[in-house]
Amino acid sequence: MPESFFVEPSTGRRYNLDEAPYYSIEAIFNNKNFWINMDETREIKEINFDFENDNTGEWEYVMINTDDKKGDDDDENAEEDEDDDDDGAGNNEEEVLDMPPPWSPKLFVNKDKFAELCPKGEKTVFYKKCRVEFYSDCKQVDGLVKKVTIYEDYKKIIVKEVRSYFKHRRDKLILRRRFPYRFTTIEHYESSEK
């Protein structure tokens, strides 16, 4: 990143460092590490944002980057350190923090439950002048998968229309529309030509 900036987690809005509406910072992270602010009482204007190369103790890192710990110039120092370890003087190397894996365990969904798409095979959703009932495939004897009831009033007393959607029927019926107060039924069939 060419410059540091803030991202508000609740809105996703981006703020420049000098325009941020925050009082202080608790922690900062990037794609390499996670740093904790050791003095949260400092205002944003007083904070040193060079947290990766911090020697002042303002920031404390959480994960040790093993690539940065040893370079090509440290070969001689490494041999001296090995001699010190043999003498029992102790190891001055910092312990690496054992972090849990950053992903959740593998999600398992039962095939039968996934195929139902509804808890216990059916689900009902109410809207202002409408009721929608969902049914799992092949759970209803007549092949009904969805039933939409449209009402004239908000109290859901006078039925205007009932739409029944079907699947997997031998007669290829896919939609039945009933108008109870007009004593009319309209049926739609799947065309056999494909």
Give 169-188 as a 3 state SS string: CCCCEEEEEEECCCCEEEEE
Among 10-14, 61-65, 179-183, the minimum mean pLDDT is found in 61-65
Nearest to 144 by CA among 129, 166, 127: 166
| pLDDT bracket for residue 88 (50, 70, 90) | very low
- Average pLDDT rounded to a whole number, residues 178-182: 93
CA 48 to chain centroid, in Å, comes to 32
* Secondary structure (3-state) at 80: helix
* Secondary structure (3-state) at 136: coil
What is the spatial distance between Cα 164 and Cα 160, in angstroms, rounded to a whole number? 14
Residue 45 DSSP one-character state? G
Confidence (pLDDT) at 98: 61
| pLDDT bracket for residue 78 (50, 70, 90) | very low
Higher pLDDT, 174 or 73: 174
The structural domains of the chain, with segments of one domain joined by +, span 1-103, 111-189
- Judged on CB neighbours under 10 Å (0-12, 13-18, 19+), 177 is middle
Confidence (pLDDT) at 146: 93
Give 140-177 pLDDT, tens digit per residue: 888 899 999 999 999 989 999 999 999 988 899 999 99
Q: How far lies 16's CA from each of 3, 5, 20, 115, in Å?
A: 9, 5, 6, 48
Higher pLDDT, 83 or 124: 124
Give 33-45 pLDDT, tens digit per residue: 888 888 878 777 7
What is the spatial distance between Cα 134 and Cα 146, in angstroms, rounded to a whole number? 5
| pLDDT bracket for residue 71 (50, 70, 90) | very low
Higher pLDDT, 86 or 158: 158
Residue-averaged pLDDT of the chain: 77
Pairing of strands 34-37, 27-29: antiparallel
Nearest to 22 by CA among 42, 38, 4, 3: 42
Check whether 182 has a pLDDT greater than 50: yes
What is the spatial distance between Cα 120 and Cα 113, in angstroms, rounded to a whole number? 9
- Average pLDDT rounded to a whole number, residues 74-101: 50
What is the spatial distance between Cα 50 and Cα 16, in angstroms, rounded to a whole number? 16
Give 121-143 pLDDT, tens digit per residue: 788 999 999 999 998 888 888 88
Confidence (pLDDT) at 87: 46
Residues near 161 by Cβ (< 8 Å), separated by ≥ 6?
A: 149, 150, 177, 178, 179
Confidence (pLDDT) at 77: 44
